[in-house]
Structure 1
Amino acid sequence: WIANSLDFNKSYDASVFETTIRVVGGLLSAYDLSGDKVFLEKARDIADRLLPAWNTRTGIPYNVINLAHGNPHNPSWTGGESILADSGTEQLELIALSQRTGDPKYRQKAEKVIVELNKTFPADGLLPIYISPDRGTPSYSTITFGAMGDSFYEYLLKVWIQGNKTSAVKPYSRDMWETSMKGLLSLVRRSTPSSFTYICEKNGDSLIDKMDELACFAPGMIALGSSGYGPGDSEKFLSLAEELAWTCYNFYQSTPTKLAGENYFFRDGQDMSVGTSWNILRPETVESLFYLWRLTGNKTYKEWGWNIFQAFEKNSRIESGYVGLKDVNTGDKDNMMQSFFLAETLKYLYLLFSPTTVISLDEWVFNTEAHPLKIVTQHDGEISGRSDGQHRPNIRLRGRKGGRFIDDIRIH
């Protein structure tokens, strides 16, 4: 079907971000897992249709493009601005596509975004969710590790892992990520009376005691990055990851259905309370449980994952699949199974109960849609924003030594 029927020549306004992480990432992952070049050819086809989105004054992409006719633009509701997560979460896929095809143009587009953002990267590494594609500077808007911010920070770490942690990629990945983690620490608070650790949002100088379930990717990200620190900081960040995972697990345990709402508010003396009360089968908490199980070997994370799976089985399972809940307090069902439930939620649950050699973290890096990509060493001189990038990359597949919104539901 992929070879004979999959046709991207459609007059459809597509999200550049969602199409990159779901379609380009999925096809590249299928290629890495199977070796069948039909997947690589299709990944290149769809990526070529997306690429004009990066043709802006700064290289920071527009977030929407028509797959048949081009015409890149930003949604009207952003006021013409680009979204941080949507613009800064394409590096893994486009770098991988350049590595697999030998054509540097994809990597150049993705890496130019990060080079541009690095020019005015703040001391705390925290960027607002709206960025001007014309000026390359952030607009006054919310800072968050939840919706519209999340995966930008995730990819700063994962590009370093994808490049096999070499010095070539560190300045535009790991170094920026560590700066952002200093900023994250400034947003960490603990609730009363139960001392749940959570990550605030920030507007100007004001902190907002609110955390999205989307931000529950952060415990896994922090745990994954903790081993790159020296012993003291490594332990500190791993401990923080474990504390945040406990909070995210309690997002689930604190409701009558044992499924998490979309976001939570924290108030003095009241711990946490559900804000937006739907559940659309999101993966972020089980993603973090997967990483923490792999990195610590603590079976508690498997137990928590099993409890969440059982809650999905009880509340969301129907004859034809799974559906979300309109309200986690009442259990009222909606009528939609998001694609990320299969791509991410069930995949991470499956891997949580699989041998650690299945998609080993020494050989693979997961994109933000849970599609595993082979780790490939990136050498000096291969960062596109700092070189002419006209050479074909020297690719060696080997083990290393060491967002979001959805298309169907947008909140703004």
Structure 2
Amino acid sequence: MWEKSMKGLLSLVRKPTPSSFTYICEKHGGSLTDKMDELACFAPGMLALGSSGYGPTDSQKILSLAEKLAWTCYNFYQSTPTKLAGENYFFHPGEDMSVGTSWNILRPETVESLFYLSRFTGNRTYQEWGWDIFQAFEKNSRIETGYVGLKDVNTGVKDDKMQSFFLAETLKYLYLLFSPSSVISLDEWVFNTEAHPPRIVTRHEEEHVGQSKNIQTGRTRGRKEGLFGDH
């Protein structure tokens, strides 16, 4: 299923000339649009995580694509006066990207990918990019009672909302980006799409836990039967 979905994703990858930015275009029915949302910036992290399931050659190709896409997503932020990303970007032949919808609502997808890439590559560049993004949030979004989004990343005009995912995801991934790899190790935990970390349980562990529960249930039933029997 993963390999099939990756073939579909690769068919949407573009890199216009002379731009240095690789992006994933949108598909609507049979037509393609040269547009990429910040929401799609979870893809570099997804690819980095998925690359571990391939042999060395294919793994490096997938990881390389993840790094190219992450560079694009980082520049979603760097390309605006506030250094915060707009909601989406358009790509035109002979030009670099340009912001489309220009609000920012404190989304986590780019820093999520920076976290994964930092863990898988050990490259400190991703921490530096994350720090740039955090500083931009501090400068433009922080207010006395929390953080707010921007109505326009070009002018810096603020809105009056702090989305719940800013705490649950954006700041969590920024925190983990600068944490040792032993903190919520990816060998022991897997993040769902909302950044909650369920622990990885192997089939052997599941069977062991199941057997333990059965034994415990039997003992409990025995004690209760004995208790009622005494009466």
TM superposition score normalised by structure 2 = 0.88
**Pairwise CA distance, 1:205:** 2.5
Moved over 6 A (4+): none
Root mean square deviation of aligned Cα:
1.4
- Going from structure 1 to structure 2, the CA distance change for 1:246 and 1:219 (only over 3 Å counts) comes to same
Which of residues 306, 321, 325 in structure 1 aligns to 2:131? 306
How far apart, in 2, do the equivalents of 1:321 and 1:195 lie? 36
1:394 aligns with 2:207: yes
1:257 aligns with 2:82: yes
Query: Which aligned pairs between 1:56-205 and structure 2 lie closer than 5 A?
Result: 176-205=1-30
Larger Rg: 2
**Pairwise CA distance, 1:193:** 1.9
Which of residues 205, 210, 214 in structure 1 aligns to 2:35? 210
1:239 aligns with 2:64: yes
1:191 alignment partner, SS class = coil
Structure 1: gaps (5+ residues): 1-175, 380-392, 397-412
Amino acid across the alignment from 2:112 = E
**Pairwise CA distance, 1:266:** 0.5
How far apart, in 2, do the equivalents of 1:267 and 1:395 lie? 57
Q: Which residue of 1 aligns with 2:47?
A: 222
In the TM superposition, what whole-angstrom CA distance separates every residue of 1:280-305 from its partner, at most 9, and x where no partner exists?
00000000000000000000000000
Query: Which aligned pairs between 1:274-353 and structure 2 lie closer than 5 A?
Result: 274-353=99-178
- Going from structure 1 to structure 2, the CA distance change for 1:257 and 1:228 (only over 3 Å counts) comes to same
Matched positions, count: 209
In the TM superposition, what whole-angstrom CA distance separates every residue of 1:153-179 from its partner, at most 9, and x where no partner exists?
xxxxxxxxxxxxxxxxxxxxxxx1221
Q: Which residue of 1 aligns with 2:187?
A: 362
Q: 1:261–1:279: 8 Å Cα contact kept in structure 2?
A: yes
Amino acid across the alignment from 1:237 = I
Amino acid across the alignment from 1:257 = T
Out of 223-232 and 280-289, give the one that drifted further.
223-232
Amino acid across the alignment from 2:198 = L
Amino acid across the alignment from 2:168 = A
Out of 199-208 and 240-249, give the one that drifted further.
199-208
Structure 2: gaps (5+ residues): 210-231
How far apart, in 1, do the equivalents of 2:119 and 2:44 lie? 13
1:207 alignment partner, SS class = strand
How far apart, in 2, do the equivalents of 1:272 and 1:215 lie? 15
1:182 alignment partner, SS class = helix
How far apart, in 1, do the equivalents of 2:196 and 2:153 lie? 28
2:27 alignment partner, SS class = strand
**Pairwise CA distance, 1:378:** 3.8
Query: Percent of aligned pairs with the same residue?
Result: 85
In the TM superposition, what whole-angstrom CA distance separates every residue of 1:336-377 from its partner, at most 9, and x where no partner exists?
000100000000000011111000000000111111110012
Amino acid across the alignment from 1:227 = S
How far apart, in 2, do the equivalents of 1:328 and 1:192 lie? 26
**Pairwise CA distance, 1:182:** 0.9
In the TM superposition, what whole-angstrom CA distance separates every residue of 1:169-201 from its partner, at most 9, and x where no partner exists?
xxxxxxx12210111000000033222100011
How far apart, in 2, do the equivalents of 1:204 and 1:316 lie? 37
Q: 1:200–1:208: 8 Å Cα contact kept in structure 2?
A: yes
**Pairwise CA distance, 1:395:** 5.7
1:195 alignment partner, SS class = coil
Q: 1:191–1:272: 8 Å Cα contact kept in structure 2?
A: no
**Pairwise CA distance, 1:203:** 2.0
Q: 1:376–1:395: 8 Å Cα contact kept in structure 2?
A: no
TM superposition score normalised by structure 1 = 0.50
In the TM superposition, what whole-angstrom CA distance separates every residue of 1:35-69 from its partner, at most 9, and x where no partner exists?
xxxxxxxxxxxxxxxxxxxxxxxxxxxxxxxxxxx
How far apart, in 1, do the equivalents of 2:112 and 2:128 lie? 14
